[in-house]
């Protein structure tokens, strides 16, 4: 299933970088955004996940995020998440770049994570950015920032917003440094994350894509492993352990 070239690359690799998207959490029961059962189809999140809607109807936006938060509280990391914890232990230099906001990589035990789109479990002030922890009851209204009095919002990136500067910069640096770069469970269409594999490739990395279906990245990948991440990644870890 895995080519000799990939195994040889992984055998000598010092720096391995992984980019993940919603597909890695599919086996945990978190809906993806696009595709057959995608969240986007049912909820048109582009209408909800933006600052304009929040400014007009913060209750509605919060209700949607509380619903997703509750869904995520009920789920657990799957074998794909745990395989990436093994990756972190195996490779001397490792970095996990995720577009996911579901906190499942953290829960599985990865430490070297760059969150490109924030984290649904955290909150921040919508004006000054002061961080706030925990849940609150919407019946009591949306809490306000103790410093500036503006509304508190989920600490996630919305449509039309910039990614956290430090996160994307570090992600680009790691992509450049990678010897093997994995793109896992992402439709590879949302920028700037979608450019990371090309940055890696341009700097000599071997690009491996794991997805149940082809994406715009597939033709540029050195290896396309078609199938579910929770099946392929544990098998790959077994093969890597035989090499090292
Ligand atoms: P998408 O929903 O766009 O894509 C999920 C990808 O996972 C698809 O290519 C599926 O084929 C694949 N997939 C599904 N199940 C899988 C499995 N079991 N194993 C492997 N692959 C599987 O999700 P993302 O690419 O993460 O941004 O979307 C990127 C961004 O779009 C999100 O972070 C979100 C959204 O706008 C923000 O909210 C800012």
Please give the model's pTM, rounded to 2 decimal places: 0.94
**Which atom of ligand 1 sits closest to the CA of residue 40?**
2
Ligand 1 pocket mutation, candidates 23, 182, 232, criterion most atoms within 8 A of CB:
23
Task: Quote the Cα angle for 124-125-129, to 5°.
Answer: 80
| Residue 157 to residue 153: CA distance in whole angstroms | 11
Q: Show pLDDT as tens, one digit a residue, over the chain (244 residues).
A: 899 999 999 999 999 999 999 999 999 999 888 776 666 656 677 788 899 999 999 998 998 899 889 999 999 999 999 999 999 999 999 999 999 999 999 999 999 999 999 999 999 999 999 999 988 888 889 999 999 999 999 999 998 999 999 999 999 999 999 999 999 999 999 999 999 999 999 999 999 999 999 999 999 999 999 999 999 999 999 999 999 8
Tokens of 137: 């009851």
**Which atom of ligand 1 sits closest to the CA of residue 101?**
33
| Residue 170 to residue 161: CA distance in whole angstroms | 18
Strand 15-20, strand 113-115: pairing: unpaired
Tokens of 211: 């997805």
**Which atom of ligand 1 sits closest to the CA of residue 210?**
20
Q: Are 30 and 104 in contact (CB under 8 A)?
A: yes
Regarding the beta carbon of 212 and ligand 1, being less than 6 Å apart is answered yes
| Number of residues assigned to the chain | 244
**Which atom of ligand 1 sits closest to the CA of residue 39?**
2
| Residue 126 to residue 153: CA distance in whole angstroms | 6
DSSP code string of 155-206: EEPPBTPPPPHHHHHHHHHHHHH-SEEEEES--S-STTGGGHHHHHHHTTPE
User: What values do phi and psi take at 14, rounded to 5?
Assistant: -100, -45
| Residue 78 to residue 68: CA distance in whole angstroms | 18
Regarding the beta carbon of 153 and ligand 1, being less than 6 Å apart is answered no
Ligand 1 pocket mutation, candidates 22, 54, 99, 155, criterion most atoms within 8 A of CB:
22
Find the 100 Cα to ligand 1 centroid distance in Å: 9
Find the catalytic residue in 117, 121, 123, 232. 117
Regarding the beta carbon of 28 and ligand 1, being less than 6 Å apart is answered no
Which residue's CA is the nearest one to ligand 1's atom 22? 23
Find the 139 Cα to ligand 1 centroid distance in Å: 32
Q: Let me know if 117 is a catalytic residue.
A: yes
Q: Are 119 and 132 in contact (CB under 8 A)?
A: no
pLDDT at 64: 87
């Amino acid at each position: 299933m895995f080519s000799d070239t990939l195994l040889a690359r992984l055998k000598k690799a010092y720096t391995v970088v992984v980019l993940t998207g919603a597909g890695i959490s599919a086996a945990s029961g978190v809906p993806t955004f696009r595709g057959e059962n995608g969240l986007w189809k049912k909820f048109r999140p582009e209408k909800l996940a933006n600052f304009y809607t929040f400014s007009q109807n913060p209750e509605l936006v919060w209700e949607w995020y509380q619903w997703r938060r509750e869904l995520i509280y009920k789920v657990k990391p799957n074998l794909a998440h745990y395989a990436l914890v093994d990756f972190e232990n195996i490779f001397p230099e490792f970095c996990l770049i995720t577009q996911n906001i579901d906190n499942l990589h953290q829960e599985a035990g990865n430490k070297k994570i760059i969150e490109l789109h924030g984290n649904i479990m955290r909150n921040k002030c919508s004006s000054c950015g002061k961080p706030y922890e925990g849940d609150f009851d919407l019946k009591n209204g949306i809490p306000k920032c103790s410093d500036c009095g503006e509304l508190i919002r989920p600490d996630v990136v919305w449509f039309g917003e910039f990614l956290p500067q430090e996160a994307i910069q570090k992600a680009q640096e790691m992509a450049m440094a990678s010897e093997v770069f994995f793109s896992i469970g992402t439709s590879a269409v949302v920028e700037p994350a979608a450019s990371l594999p090309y940055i890696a490739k341009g700097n000599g990395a071997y690009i491996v894509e794991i997805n149940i279906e082809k994406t715009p990245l597939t033709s540029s990948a050195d290896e396309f492993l078609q199938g579910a991440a929770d099946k392929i990644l544990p098998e790959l870890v077994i093969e890597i352990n035989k090499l090292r």
